[in-house]
Structure 1
Amino acid sequence: MAPVTGPVASEAEPVAESAAPVAVRPRRRVLRTVGLIAVAAVIGLVGGTAVGYGIQAEREPTALPALNQPGLAYPAKPLPEGEKAKPLPASEDLRTKAEGDLRKLLLPKPAGAKKSEFADADGWMRVSAFASQFNRPGNALDDQLEIGIRRIAVTSWATGEYMETEIRLVQYRAGDVLGAQEFVEEQQAYMPEEDFAESEGTELKGSANGRYYVFPVRKKAGYLDMYEARAYFYRGDIAVEIFVIDTRKISAKDIRSLAERQLGRL
């Protein structure tokens, strides 16, 4: 197994939290009920339960459905008695690949693309830098440490005159798949807002709940128009963020293709 490389988050080092606001479920109002209605409801409940038990007791037992889900088992077909399944090859085992150099799972820079002037020199993003990009870095750090952030691999490149692309692989602690899922879902939650994509985005096929977004054009007097597209998805304990900005329109096909190819490398 390849040695783990890259910076590991510690409690002393900041981490990024989602900028998405936390929804607070409003408390339900408690309604007072007339005593007679309450008594009638209790009698009805007890009576109905007794009748239900009586009917069920006279029926033949119903077999429970199978717990397994077709298509999810490995190996796909039952093996002969006494034979054990062979381990997945490293090329197909995400756990093996993710434990090595995470940067190798990033999409390579396209032919003809230039290194972005904002690119991190070694392909790693410090957790503190990740957290600092949110509106409340301190809260972001606390939240990300709580859900087990581990390390961030990043690549970026420039194409054309103004187009910039950045991809981040945000990995969470082994076995804590919910960390990656929670982070992605929090980012997706605020995409429909006015300052962002203003839409629910489009489903990314082949992913658990990945989506990609094409933002409305941003216009400001004295500046070039700005176009933006993003994608958010996760695979195992790795959350993926993709950002594309340009002064020309970005098509849904462009961001979808980028997301699909990055998903394929995972």
Structure 2
Amino acid sequence: MEPNDTVSPTSRPRGRTALIIAAAALLGISGGTAVGYGIQSQRPPTPLPALSQPGLAYPAKPLAADKAPAPLPASEDRRVRTDGDLRKLLLERPKGAEASPDYPREGGEWMPYAEYARYFKDGEGMFRYFTESGLRRVAATEWVQKDRYTRLALIQFRPGLDSYAPDHLANQLSYMPEAEEGAGNAGDPIEGTGRGRYYLYPVEREAGYLPLYRARALAVRGDIMIDIGISDVKPISKKDIRVLAERQLERL
């Protein structure tokens, strides 16, 4: 409407008319509903269909011993393997490598929750997270080859569909692309895993010290998350961390 236009003389306020129409519509709906219920109440009840039960999906009697499937051998039953001594599933120390002072035992050691939580910036918060999310145990090992330190940790959570292992992996992957907290890059996928990735960190240089190179790999297999780290004063290749992760996944 232009500024100089006038309202048509047939126009009128609609408030009262709209209220009357809305009341009439509501009355019509209520009346129709009441009439419908009245008609339905006078009709004879419709008989329900006869109840029927299909044949049972499982056999009525146990299968004979010669027809029952044999149980999986321990080598193929992942649950049997991961419910045993988790330290035995860690990769063995390479020939020529020395045990680190923190993990002198051959074959790995049990890591307390609090110690694993200290690997994170908010150690106290992570400790609470682990105790509330069903963390069962952590097995770890570390070895030294000249100036290269290699650490492997298997973090096992409560088994089942609600296991927190995938959530813990997702939390770790979420900050790895950040420059301050993580590696500062998107990393590379680990073949054969859903979301597993490995990363190379930018070199850290400080006056008076040798350069520091780091790498990390993260993946989940069942209710276990693997966390692998390498540090060295010399460059670390992508192949070094990738092959280590693939070998550890094969053990699981």
TM-score calculated relative to the size of structure 1: 0.66
Residue 124 of structure 2 is matched in structure 1 by: 138
State how far apart, in whole Å, the 1-side matches of 2:190 and 2:173 are.
13
Q: Percent of counterpart pairs with the same letter? A: 43
Aligned residues: 184
Question: 1:159 aligned to 2:142?
Answer: no
**What does 1:200-239 align with in structure 2 at a 5 Å threshold?**
200-239=186-225
Amino acid at match of 1:193: E
> Superposition RMSD on alpha carbons, in Å?
1.7
State how far apart, in whole Å, the 1-side matches of 2:209 and 2:241 are.
24
Residue 258 of structure 1 is matched in structure 2 by: 244
Segments of 4+ in structure 1 off by > 3 A?
82-86
Residue 13 of structure 2 is matched in structure 1 by: none
Shift of 1:202: 0.6
Shift of 1:83: 5.3
State how far apart, in whole Å, the 2-side matches of 1:131 and 1:171 are.
14
Shift of 1:119: 1.7
Query: Rg larger in 1 or in 2?
Result: 2
Q: C-alpha deviations, 1:128-167, integer Å up to 9, x for none? A: 111223222221122112221010000110002x100000
**Structure 2 gaps, min length 5:** 1-65
Mapped contact 1:151–1:171 kept (Cα < 8 A): yes
State how far apart, in whole Å, the 2-side matches of 1:139 and 1:254 are.
32
**Structure 1 gaps, min length 5:** 1-81
Mapped contact 2:196–2:218 kept (Cα < 8 A): yes
CA change 1:157–1:260 in 2 (3 A) is same
Shift of 1:174: 2.5
Q: C-alpha deviations, 1:200-254, integer Å up to 9, x for none? A: 1111011121101111111111110000000000101111000000000000000
State how far apart, in whole Å, the 2-side matches of 1:118 and 1:177 are.
33
Mapped contact 1:207–1:263 kept (Cα < 8 A): no
Mapped contact 1:229–1:250 kept (Cα < 8 A): yes
State how far apart, in whole Å, the 2-side matches of 1:231 and 1:131 are.
18
State how far apart, in whole Å, the 2-side matches of 1:159 and 1:176 are.
39
State how far apart, in whole Å, the 2-side matches of 1:207 and 1:263 are.
9
State how far apart, in whole Å, the 1-side matches of 2:104 and 2:173 are.
25
Mapped contact 1:120–1:154 kept (Cα < 8 A): no
Deviates more, 1:191-200 or 1:241-250: 191-200
